[in-house]
A = this chain, B = another copy of it.
Amino acid sequence: MSTTKSMPSMSDVAARAGVALGTVSNVLNHPDKVAEATLRRVHAAIDELGFVRNNQARSLAMGRSTTLGLVVTDIGNSFFVDIARGAEEGAALNGMTLLLANSDNDYAKQETYLDLFDQARFAGILLAPFEAAPESAHRLRGHGRPVLLLNVAVPVGEGCSIVVDNEQGGYLAARHLIDEGRRRLAFVGGPDRLEPLLERRLGAERAVAETNGAVTLEEIIVGAVNAPEGRAAGSIILDRAPAERPDGVFAASDLLALGLVQTLSAALRIPDDLAVIGYDNNSAVRESTIPISTIAQPGREMGEIGARLLWSEVADGPDHEHEHVVLAPTLITRASSVRR
């Protein structure tokens, strides 16, 4: 089955060019060690035969591969797309290539892909995990395959990781609302068991605490961080007497913020009566009618640094020092929170 006409091998090329097998290998890997004339002859033979080097055999013989793998939770989320782009770039910079797998919010799939990458002997693996760092990451590291975790903290000494400072992001968001003159803030977020959301709330609390009681912060809990829940939260706010409503809302995600704005803008002026800020700088929200302020996570940077770090772990071998990088989120102000 499969490939009918099997492809020409290096020895076919060698025969055609009238040189030894090893010489063809040198042409491909150490052209400086080969005489000009031979180089040309071999290249000619390669072109004539349409030779394509078999990477499986190559990695087998070399004992190492030049491919990095990235497993993301949800390729539909622009944050992960940014990470992928960055990782690709970072990999390319080191002469590696990046292959992508989408676990689609499915834990089992994630495991499947990790195993697949392991079996394929990829040089290293970048993992933006489903929820927490999975056992399997530990297992792969155990037999020498570098795994770098994205967006999730990792025990020191276990391996490298890169996270974005969610607490700081929360702080920035609330700080911004306060700076815009808001005094009755609300945090709309999910259940605290989701670490990142909890941290964002804590950051907001810190900003509020800084202002010595001049600002209040209430919390509106929703079931999930999507647009429908945002609309639900919007209704909750609208149902209150005007004096009871917050004048600044920090939503734990952009989709949530979008839902809020949709509902609230029908009855209130945004941002005049009520300012809204989201989180993620999600591309799905970038074209909303009222542009929504947000906290951007440096996904691209995350991916790129991730690939670099992973590469250095692969290259340094035993004397590699695990690093834990914390990236800073940034505030992006748009119409939903800034009076014109």
Contact = CB atoms under 8 A, between A and B. Distances in A.
Interface of A: 1-7, 50, 52-57, 59-60, 63-65, 67, 75-76, 78, 81, 84-85, 88, 97-102, 104, 112-113, 115-116, 118-121, 123, 139, 142-145, 227, 255, 258-259, 262, 265, 283-289, 314-318
24 contacts: A1-B64, A1-B316, A2-B123, A2-B315, A3-B64, A3-B144, A4-B317, A7-B144, A50-B142, A52-B115, A52-B118, A52-B143, A54-B60, A55-B119, A55-B121, A60-B60, A84-B102, A97-B112, A99-B101, A227-B287, A258-B287, A283-B284, A284-B287, A285-B287
A85 B56 contact: no
Contacts of A286: 284
A139 B50 CA distance: 9
A64 to B, nearest CB: 4
A253 B231 CA distance: 26
Q: Which 3 A-B pairs have the closest CB atoms?
A: A2-B64, A55-B119, A100-B100
Contacts of A56: 56-57, 59-60, 65, 120-121
Contacts of A316: 1
A262 B284 contact: no
Contact of A143 (B5, B55, B57, B227): B5
A314 B50 contact: no
Best-buried of A78, A88, A283 by chain B (most CB within 10 Å): A88
A2 to B, nearest CB: 4
